[in-house]
Amino acid sequence: MNVAQFGVLEKDLLDDFQRDFPLVPRPYRAIAERLGCDEDTVLELLCQMIKAGLITRIGPVFAPHRAGASTLAAVAVPEDRLESVAALVSGYDEVNHNYEREHRINLWFVVCAPAAERVAEVLRDIAARTGLEVLDLPLEQAFHIDLGFPLQWS
């Protein structure tokens, strides 16, 4: 399955159910009723989309600053060390996002732990092991509640 093969049903599933997934005993049947198909079709399509990697999961998206402690960290890594430093950073269980970005400060990652002390400890540890300065950019205020994402198929 790929996006080019998407019909109306696939698009509606993604457009209408990034939020407000029904909290009822048979949510997939409730979705099917809204889309005018049957429960098995909804389940089958969602399984296929997950298998094809087009959606990562069906489920809750948690607000990270409530479920434990977290921060966004950034490091300016010399180009020739980027691969090894990135691997070192990704090696921490507490790192759940790690992106390379085009900038002098080129490695960006999220550190997440049950308690703030452990987050600080991971940052210190990365700084000590790499000899590089780690910028700690914790969230101070969120201005947008992530309600999903308009995919604009056209």
Partner 1 sequence: MSAPLTASADPALDPLDRRIVAATQAGLPLTARPYHALAERLGLQPGDVMRRMVRMLETGAIRRIGAVPNHYALGWTANGMSVWDVPDKHVDEAGRMVGGLEFVSHCYRRPRRLPQWPYNLFAMVHGRSRAEVADKVARIAAVLGDWDGGHDVLYSTKILKKTGLRIAG
Name which of residues 133 to 152 contact partner 1 (CB under 8 A): 133, 135-151
Tell me whether residue 90 or residue 128 sits nearer to partner 1 (CB atom): 90
Asked if residue 19 binds partner 1 (CB under 8 A), the reply is yes
130 binds partner 1 (CB under 8 A): no
Asked whether the beta carbons of 132 and 77 are under 8 A apart, the reply is yes
8 scored as a contact of partner 1 (CB under 8 A) = no
Closest CA to 117 of 74, 72, 62, 70: 70
How many CB atoms lie under 10 A from the CB of residue 82? 14
Q: Restricting to residues 50-109, which ones interact with partner 1 according to CB under 8 A?
A: 50, 52-64, 66-68, 70, 72, 74, 76, 86, 89-90, 93, 95-103, 105, 108-109
The reply to whether 131 sits near partner 1 by the rule CB under 8 A is no
Q: Is 30 in the site for partner 1 (CB under 8 A)?
A: no
Distance (Å, whole) CA 111 – CA 47? 30
Only one residue has tokens 């079709």, namely 41
Do residues 131 and 85 lie in contact, with contact meaning Cβ atoms separated by under 8 Å?
A: no
